[in-house]
């Protein structure tokens, strides 16, 4: 009986962790730049777009660690962070990745940091 309770407890804990991760993934677009719990500054980079290459579909990010070129794929999610306008966030497109805009990039592979999983673009003007 005790083993059954332990197994049941472990199953509940694992399920709870996976629901938390799924919940954050579903609501990530609504979290302002730099405020994603357990993600921001650990699995992401925050900086200013220094260059955009539309043909190669890359952006060059200028951040605390220097310049870095990041690929934007068809599966990269782009969100417009309109927190400073006190408006809800929207889904964006590659065209919203403009030089001079502040962004947060989460990488598809946090070790290699070459391809974006998602990008949040700070929008400060209507």
- Output the pLDDT for position 22: 43
- Output the pLDDT for position 65: 84
Mean pLDDT along residues 88-98: 97
Mean pLDDT along residues 48-63: 97
- Output the pLDDT for position 16: 53
4-35 pLDDT, tens digit each: 556 555 555 555 554 444 445 668 989 999 99
- Give domain limits for the chain: 31-122
Here the contacts of 113-118 (C-beta below 8 Å, separation 24 or greater) are: 113/45, 113/68, 113/70, 114/70, 114/71, 115/70, 115/71, 115/73, 115/76, 116/70, 116/71, 116/72, 116/73, 116/76, 117/76, 117/77, 118/28, 118/29, 118/76, 118/77, 118/78, 118/79
95-124 pLDDT, tens digit each: 999 999 999 999 999 899 999 999 999 999
Tell whether the model's pLDDT for residue 38 goes beyond 80.
Answer: yes
Tell whether the model's pLDDT for residue 71 goes beyond 50.
Answer: yes
Domain covering 31-122, topology: OB fold (Dihydrolipoamide Acetyltransferase, E2P) (2.40.50)
């Amino acid at each position: 009986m005790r083993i059954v309770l332990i197994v049941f407890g472990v199953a509940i804990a694992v399920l709870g962790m996976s629901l938390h991760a799924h919940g954050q993934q579903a609501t990530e677009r609504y979290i302002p730049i730099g405020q994603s719990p357990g993600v921001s500054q650990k699995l992401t980079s925050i900086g200013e777009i220094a260059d955009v290459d539309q043909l190669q579909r890359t952006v060059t990010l200028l951040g605390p660690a220097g310049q870095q070129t990041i690929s934007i794929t068809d599966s990269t999610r782009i969100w417009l962070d309109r927190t400073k306008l006190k408006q809800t966030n929207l889904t964006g497109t590659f065209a919203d990745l403009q030089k001079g805009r502040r962004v947060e990039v989460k990488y598809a592979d946090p070790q290699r940091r070459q391809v974006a999983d998602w990008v949040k673009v700070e929008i400060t003007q209507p």
